[in-house]
């Protein structure tokens, strides 16, 4: 079972990674590219979304990878209409261990980090 602090701790071991509030990103030039963040859930209709500490949204390399994750384990991975067409999957943190979370964060980092940094890091 993992939580956002585990995700933050793991992400910050990756080169050029930043953590601001509930967002984890990687520096790409002068920009920070988001790789994972707490899911903002709409709890009440017509009210603002609020961060759900039990669910992490994480970038995938493609929509095909997203679909593969969704099909692999619906208890861990899900999506919502807000993410239709966007390469990110929602993860129930209580259903995942640190090792799998690390693998997913490294994959998310790889798709957002500068290619030269990915090559240099060996990840």
Is the per-residue pLDDT at 76 higher than 90? yes
Range of the domain at 101: 4-121
pLDDT class for 87, splitting at 50, 70, 90?
A: very high
Tens-digit pLDDT profile for residues 18-62: 999 999 999 998 999 999 999 998 888 889 988 999 999 999 999
Written as six digits, the tokens of 103 are 């693998």
115 alpha carbon, distance to own chain's centre: 19
Cα–Cα distance for residue pair 76/37, rounded to 1 Å = 16
Rounded to two decimals, what is the model's pTM? 0.92
CATH number of the domain bearing residue 114? 3.90.1150.30
> What's residue 8's pLDDT?
97
Q: How many domains does the chain have?
A: 1
Q: What mean pLDDT, rounded, does the chain reach? A: 95
Q: Please, are residues 26 and 109 in contact by the beta-carbon 8 Å criterion?
A: yes
Residue that has been written with the tokens 């679909």 in this structure? 67
Written as six digits, the tokens of 44 are 């009440």
């Amino acid at each position: 079972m993992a939580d956002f602090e585990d995700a933050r701790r793991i992400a910050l071991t990756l080169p050029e990674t930043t953590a601001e509030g509930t967002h984890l990103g990687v520096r790409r030039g002068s920009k920070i590219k988001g790789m994972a963040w707490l899911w903002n859930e709409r709890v009440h209709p017509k009210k603002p979304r609020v961060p759900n500490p039990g669910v992490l949204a994480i970038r995938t390399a493609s929509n095909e990878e997203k679909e593969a994750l969704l099909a692999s384990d619906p208890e861990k991975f899900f999506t919502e209409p807000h993410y239709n067409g966007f390469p990110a999957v929602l993860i129930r943190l209580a259903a995942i261990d640190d090792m799998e979370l690390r693998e997913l964060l490294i994959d998310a980092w790889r798709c957002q980090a500068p290619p030269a940094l990915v090559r240099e890091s060996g990840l």
